[in-house]
């Protein structure tokens, strides 16, 4: 493990200042491959993913490969994912592995080593993690991330409709499961400047004011724009005063404009400009 000087909160903040607030998902869905005139082979997977990297790695703050779509192709898919991570980072984008890992602490260490340790071929800048085995089970990932200047995004209130039942369920004192995850992340970020390395995931599709994010002091990944029904304009109602910490995320809403790299860029810029205009209002 090698220590990176700046913490993830600062690195993400700098990337957003330089490139604007947007995370684009690299999700090679079979339907998108077909729409791009590609088939479902490792060679097509690579063509798709590297086209997105060519179009956007020099353009957006964060790229978020969805691990599942690469894992589906076995070791050849993982080899493509390694290339996506390395070339995106080389072009200046931060890479967030969307793998949603979560396990007992000892196994969590191995996941964190796989995705966050600089010597791993898959090492990125951040990863998504699932707190279902208890927030404390994520401690090894939080620790490795902090030591290496990397970040984690903990699922709190996800964008999918099925998440609501579990995540909105409340303790006798009235605190929801999702809020307890946000509060635990906030504890880890308490003294960090300009913000901490423990982000949360909260969908662009959730109800207004569902979460109190006032003490989080960390980034908020907001997936669910476009294909899942969330809108950039709706983000202010959902996140209120926490809006400046929101990193809007979209995959299909951008990828459907491919394979033309200029069209992909135009789509990403449009979303980013819409969000910047919302922030400025």
Q: Which of 8, 11, 13, 27 binds ligand LLZGTKA7 (CB under 6 A)?
A: 27
Candidate segments 5-13, 108-116, 129-137, 220-228, binder of ligand LLZGTKA7 by CB under 6 A: 220-228
Nearer to ligand LLZGTKA7, 17 or 72 (CB): 72
Q: What are phi and psi of 255, to 5 degrees?
A: -65, -25
DSSP character at residue 133: T
In degrees and rounded to multiples of 5, residue 84 shows phi and psi of -60, -45
Residues that bind ligand LLZGTKA7 (rule: CB under 6 A) add up to a total of 18
**How far does Cα 211 stand from its chain's mean position?**
18
Nearest alpha carbon to residue 204 among 177, 242, 239:
239
Tell me which DSSP letter residue 112 carries. H
- Classify residue 275 as left (phi > 0), alpha (psi -120 to 50) or beta: alpha
- Interface segment toward ligand LLZGTKA7; rule CB under 6 A; list 132-140, 167-175, 222-230, 231-239: 222-230
Which residue's CB is nearer to ligand LLZGTKA7, number 13 or number 226?
226
From 151, 199, 203, 258, residue interacting with ligand LLZGTKA7 (rule: CB under 6 A): 203
Part of the chain binding ligand LLZGTKA7 (CB under 6 A), chosen from 38-46, 49-57, 82-90, 245-253: 245-253
Q: How far apart are CA 7 and CA 16, in angstroms?
A: 14
66 binds ligand LLZGTKA7 (CB under 6 A): yes
Q: What phi and psi, each to the nearest 5 degrees, are found at residue 56?
A: -120, -15
Q: Tell me the per-residue interface mask from 141 to 170 with ligand LLZGTKA7, x by CB under 6 A, - otherwise.
A: -----------------xxx----------
In the chain, alpha helices (H): 8-19, 30-35, 42-56, 67-71, 74-90, 105-116, 139-148, 163-167, 177-189, 235-239, 252-255, 261-280
- Non-local (6+) Cβ contacts of 147 within 8 A are 1, 3
Is 98 near ligand LLZGTKA7 (CB under 6 A)?
Answer: yes
**Which pair of structure tokens corresponds to residue 194?**
């300009």
Name the residues annotated as catalytic: 100
Listed residue (40, 76, 20, 48) closest to 251, CA to CA:
48
Q: Which residue number, 89 or 252, has a Cβ lying nearer to ligand LLZGTKA7?
A: 252
Closest approach, Cβ 111 to ligand LLZGTKA7, in A, equals: 17
Nearer to ligand LLZGTKA7, 196 or 224 (CB): 224
Q: Does 201 bind ligand LLZGTKA7 (CB under 6 A)?
A: yes
Piece in contact with ligand LLZGTKA7 (CB under 6 A), picked from 44-52, 188-196, 212-220, 250-258: 250-258
CA distance 210 to 176: 9
Q: Taking CB under 6 A as the rule, does residue 67 contact ligand LLZGTKA7?
A: no
Positions that interact with ligand LLZGTKA7 (CB under 6 A): 25, 27, 66, 98, 158-160, 201, 203, 223-224, 226-228, 250-253
């Amino acid at each position: 493990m090698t220590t990176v000087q700046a913490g993830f909160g600062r690195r993400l903040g700098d990337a957003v200042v330089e490139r604007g607030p947007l995370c684009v998902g690299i999700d090679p869905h079979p339907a998108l491959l077909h729409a791009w005139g590609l088939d479902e082979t490792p060679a097509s997977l690579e063509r798709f993913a590297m086209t997105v990297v060519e179009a956007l790695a020099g353009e957006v703050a964060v790229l978020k490969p969805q691990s599942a779509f690469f894992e589906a192709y076995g070791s050849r898919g993982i080899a493509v994912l390694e290339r996506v991570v390395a070339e995106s980072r080389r072009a200046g984008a931060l890479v967030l592995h969307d793998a949603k890992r979560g396990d007992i602490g000892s196994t969590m260490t191995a996941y964190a080593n796989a995705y966050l340790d600089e010597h791993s071929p898959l090492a990125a800048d951040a990863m998504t993690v699932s707190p279902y085995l208890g927030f404390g089970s994520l401690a090894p990932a939080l620790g490795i991330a902090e030591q290496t200047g990397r970040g984690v995004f903990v699922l709190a209130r996800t964008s999918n409709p099925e998440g609501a039942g579990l995540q909105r369920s409340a303790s006798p004192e009235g605190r929801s499961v999702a809020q307890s995850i946000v509060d635990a992340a906030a504890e880890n970020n308490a003294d960090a400047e300009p913000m901490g390395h423990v982000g949360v995931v909260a969908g662009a599709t959730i109800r207004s004011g569902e979460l109190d994010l006032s003490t989080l002091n960390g980034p908020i990944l907001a997936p669910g724009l476009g294909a899942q029904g969330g809108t950039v304009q709706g983000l202010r109602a959902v996140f209120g005063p926490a809006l400046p910490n929101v990193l809007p995320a979209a995959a299909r809403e951008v990828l459907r404009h491919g394979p033309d790299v200029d069209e992909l860029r135009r789509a990403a810029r449009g979303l980013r400009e819409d969000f910047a205009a919302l922030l400025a209002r």
